[in-house]
Amino acid sequence: MRATQLFFPTLREIPSEAEMINHKLLLRAGYIRKVAAGIYDYLPLGYKLIRKIETIVRKEMEDAGAQEILMPTMVPAELYKETGRWDLDVLFKFKDRGYRDYAIGFTHEEIVTDLVRRNVRSYKELPMNLYQIQGKGRDEARPRGGVVRGREFIMLDAYSFDRDWDSLDSSYAKMYRAFSRTFALCGLEPLAVEADSGAIGGKTNQEYMVITPAGEDDILVCDTCGYSANSEKCAIGETKIKMSEEKFNALTEVETPDTRTVEQVANFLKVSPKRIIKTLIYKADNKFVAALVRGDRELNEPKLAAAAGVKKVEMVEPETALEVIGAEIGSIGPVGLKKEIKIIADREIAGMANAVVGANKTGYHLMNVNIDRDFSPTIYADIRVAVKGDRCPKCTGKLKVEKGMEVGHIFKLGTVYSDAMNAKFLDDDGKEKVYVMGCYGMGISRMLAAIPEVNNDKDGMILPITVAPFEVTIMLLNPEIDDQCVAATRVYEELTDKGVDVLLDDRDERPGVKFKDNDLMGTPIQVVAGRGCAEGKVEIRVRGTEKKEEVALDDATEYVMKLRDEMFAALRDKANKF
Ligand SMILES: [Zn+2]
């Protein structure tokens, strides 16, 4: 391809709307343009990068035994209603002329399950794994970071159907490998972290997280054993609770007007938040529970739900709290609660003495509250969010916190969807059974963001050769000088004949502009046809390194081919570790 024929509107100024590095670079290099919040055009360079990711994905999916299909973007409401997901607020909904309801597909479990339940009858056809690469829509409340969290995005979604759990384990393992290989081939090395199941449901699941300061998720990682989990999931290893040695003081009620938060109470009473017990009232099924965590800690809702023995807990509205407890939120505490309200205390609470809690009377707190003298928790459990320095749940190491950008998520769904949708097959014992399912999602347009986010320098992107829109750029510095034209065209044609994806920068621009633009767009190998051409030489550069080599024109193609092969081989080696 010739640059004179390529649409890549570069920008000299950094667009003010962009905060993340990848967003700035993708806009500046003319990869993407914004249409509306969370909705983007992919320009030739951006879309070429996406298509290269898709090519890698298709190869790895086929190798893992998955088959490509394409399901509709428009999904009839009835399918999402079968599993209750029609009510999710991320759905873009619309009606047809007959006032029938539809949504833009945001993930296709229901549609694929419907396809399989209508067309697959026997265990002999299993396992089956179907995948698609498709544009999807999610009405995100806060679209951010360009294509990182778009409202329209391109995703790979695969769905496996198995006879039983053992077979699912094997399907899941194949997809784990295919995903890990795909990311490695694209120059990403995400951590596969344990995650909470969230809205999709199911059992085991792992998120692929690219570690970057720009990530929006907290990942806890153990330096000793390598365990990693997101903060919603991460358990805290049990350690011996350090008991306070203070002697118990007399319980005192104090007036604390206009204090609602832990910080306000701490400031007003001049105590550390560590001395405060935060009491949060939740609804667990149809019962109320009081969850206690230390004032400087954050409650983890999935952990609380597990401790309460329910699927999901919901924090009560202020009116409900007032009605049930008789005090406003901010003045609630564990002392004197009604017996039917179970008190679930974080393990750390056990070590506290002379604590501050809400008095269950609006505008008042109790000081010098002591466990077993003034109240007794029903149970102790791990219900807080893990933080840096906490004990690893798998070994005696300590956890550290990293920021992660999610690029993939794989789930053992089990029978959540097949039960809800009554999707059955006939097993070899003659009995009808529900499918045991897995689902596997990869954010392809988000990878367009993640790849430059972790591969860049002050001059622009440094793209892995496997996904760079062009593998090689040939910079014809002065198109009016014959020997430069001849040299550039010769290398261009030789490389193109060998199947290399080459850009010939033949624009009528100053050399400085060409160097800047090509560094910005991140092409890994650059061939400079400049003054050296008069002596039969070109310069070969490797983006992101200091490497510059003067090479005889006759040897240039061979030299580039060798560099290119080494770059591909290095990425393949990383993928082959899986
Ligand atoms: Zn560990």
Q: What is the pLDDT of residues 150-189, one digit of tens each?
A: 999 999 999 999 999 999 999 999 999 999 999 999 999 9
Instruction: Judge contact between 398 and 434, C-beta under 8 A.
Output: no
Instruction: Using the mean position of ligand 1's atoms as its centre, give its distance from the Cα of residue 169 in Å.
Output: 24
Ligand 1 centroid distance, CA of 196 (Å)? 19
Whole-angstrom Cα distance, residue 149 to residue 295? 32
Give pLDDT, residue 500: 98
The yes or no reply on domain 461-575 and CATH 3.30.479.30 is no
CA distance 350 to 380: 8
* Res 198: pLDDT: 59
| 24, pLDDT greater than 60 | yes
SS3 387: coil
pLDDT at 199 over 60: no
Distance (Å, whole) CA 28 – CA 520: 8
> Ligand 1 centre and the CA of 407: distance in Å?
24
Q: What spacing in Å lies between the alpha carbon of 402 and ligand 1's midpoint?
A: 15
Model pTM greater than 0.85? yes
Distance in angstroms (rounded) separating the CA atoms of residues 522 and 528: 15
pLDDT higher than threshold 60 for residue 47: yes
- The sign of the dihedral angle between the CA atoms of 397, 181, 404, 133 is negative
CA of 206 to the centre of ligand 1 (A): 17
Q: What percent of the chain has pLDDT over 90?
A: 89
pLDDT, residue 202, reads 61
Within 8 A by CB and 6+ apart from 319, the residues are none
DSSP one-letter string for 288-323: EEEEEEETTS-B-HHHHHHHHTSS-EEEPPHHHHHH
How far is residue 493's CA from residue 24's CA, in Å, rounded to a whole number? Answer: 33
Fold of 252-381: YbaK protein (3.90.960)
CA of 564 to the centre of ligand 1 (A): 39
Distance 389 CA to ligand 1 centre (A): 12
**Cβ-count burial 531-558 (b if 16+ within 10 Å, e if not):** ebbeeebbbbbbbbeeeeeebebeebbe
- Domain spans of the chain, in order of start: 31-67+107-216+401-453, 252-381, 461-575
399 Cα–ligand 1 center, Å = 7
Q: Report, as an integer, the average pLDDT of 101-124.
A: 97
Distance, CA 237 to ligand 1 centroid (Å)?
9
Per-residue pLDDT tens digits for 243-261: 889 999 999 999 999 998 9
Q: What is the mean pLDDT of residues 303-326?
A: 91
Distance (angstroms) between ligand 1 centre and the Cα of 228 equals: 8
Residue-level pLDDT at 11:
92
Tokens at 62, concatenated? 């086929």
CB atoms within 10 A of CB 330: 20
Ligand 1 centroid–CA 351 distance in Å is: 24
Token output for 42: 């992919």
Q: Which residues surround ligand 1, an ion (CB under 5 A)?
A: 222, 224-225, 227, 392, 394-395, 397
Q: Domain 31-67+107-216+401-453, what fold? A: BirA Bifunctional Protein; domain 2 (3.30.930)
**Pairs from 1-8 (Cβ < 8 Å, separation ≥ 24):** 1/470, 1/502, 1/503, 1/504, 2/503, 2/504, 2/506, 3/503, 3/504, 3/505, 3/506, 3/507, 4/506, 4/507, 6/44, 6/45, 6/503, 7/43, 7/44, 8/43, 8/44, 8/45, 8/517, 8/521
- Distance from the CA of 432 to the center of ligand 1, in angstroms? 43
Judge whether residue 79 has pLDDT over 60.
yes
Q: Give the pLDDT confidence score for residue 577 in this predicted structure.
A: 96
Written as six digits, the tokens of 150 are 């778009």
Q: Give me the pLDDT at residue 15, please.
A: 81
Nearest CA-CA partner of 571 in 455, 456, 460: 455
Q: How far, in Å, from the CA of 392 to the mean position of ligand 1?
A: 5
- Residue 324 burial (CB count, 10 A): 17
Please write the tens of the pLDDT for every residue from 350-380: 999 999 999 999 999 999 999 999 999 999 9
Whether the predicted pLDDT of 204 surpasses 90 = no
pLDDT at 200 over 70: no
CB-based contact 412:204 (threshold 8 Å): yes
